[in-house]
């Protein structure tokens, strides 16, 4: 399946959207470590219908008009990673969960560090809301886009639910 990509501007910087005809594959950061998410080489296509759909929904999210995404997702990772990434999709808008809570949710309470590693490799940032996962102390920890962007996303969501 041919992957396509485009960049979009956002309040958290440029985002690289990657998809194929059936689903979104990745939302990557402007300062992305190319080793974090490994994908086949995509072709640039600003008019691709899937990318346009993703861009529209992200724009709605950033202006507070969308709290849930309605997009087909194609997570590319190990079974364990996919289990963690699917658990991220259950975290409600404006709420957070700890790594331990995610580990418990997937039925493996001893896998806290593995959950953290999988969360860090989440290829579909923002839409699979890895920014909603925090340390057990409530501290903001680890985020591929940077902790400043994690704080922006959490603050955006908090401001919309009040």
Residue 60 sits at φ, ψ, to 5 deg, of -65, -40
Tell me the C-alpha distance between 80 and 72, whole Å. Answer: 20
Catalytic one of 6, 58, 130, 152:
130
User: Does the annotation mark 130 as catalytic?
Assistant: yes
CB 53 within 8 A of CB 13: no
**In this structure, are residues 88 and 102 in contact, taking their beta carbons and an 8 Å threshold?**
yes
Residues noted as catalytic: 130
């Amino acid at each position: 399946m041919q992957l396509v990509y485009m960049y979009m501007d956002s309040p958290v910087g440029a985002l690289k959207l990657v998809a194929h005809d059936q689903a979104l594959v990745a939302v990557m950061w402007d300062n992305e470590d190319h080793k974090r998410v490994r994908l086949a080489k995509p072709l640039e296509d600003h008019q691709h219908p899937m990318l346009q759909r993703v861009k529209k929904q992200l724009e709605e999210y950033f202006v507070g008009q969308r709290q849930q995404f309605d997009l087909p997702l194609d997570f590319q990772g190990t079974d364990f990673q996919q289990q963690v990434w699917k658990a991220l999709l259950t975290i409600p808008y404006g709420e957070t969960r700890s790594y331990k809570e995610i580990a418990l949710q997937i039925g493996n309470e001893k896998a806290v560090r593995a959950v953290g590693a999988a969360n860090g490799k989440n290829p579909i940032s923002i839409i699979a809301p890895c920014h909603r996962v925090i340390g057990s102390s409530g501290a903001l920890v680890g985020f591929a886009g940077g902790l400043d962007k994690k704080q922006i996303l959490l603050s955006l969501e908090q401001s919309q639910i009040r």
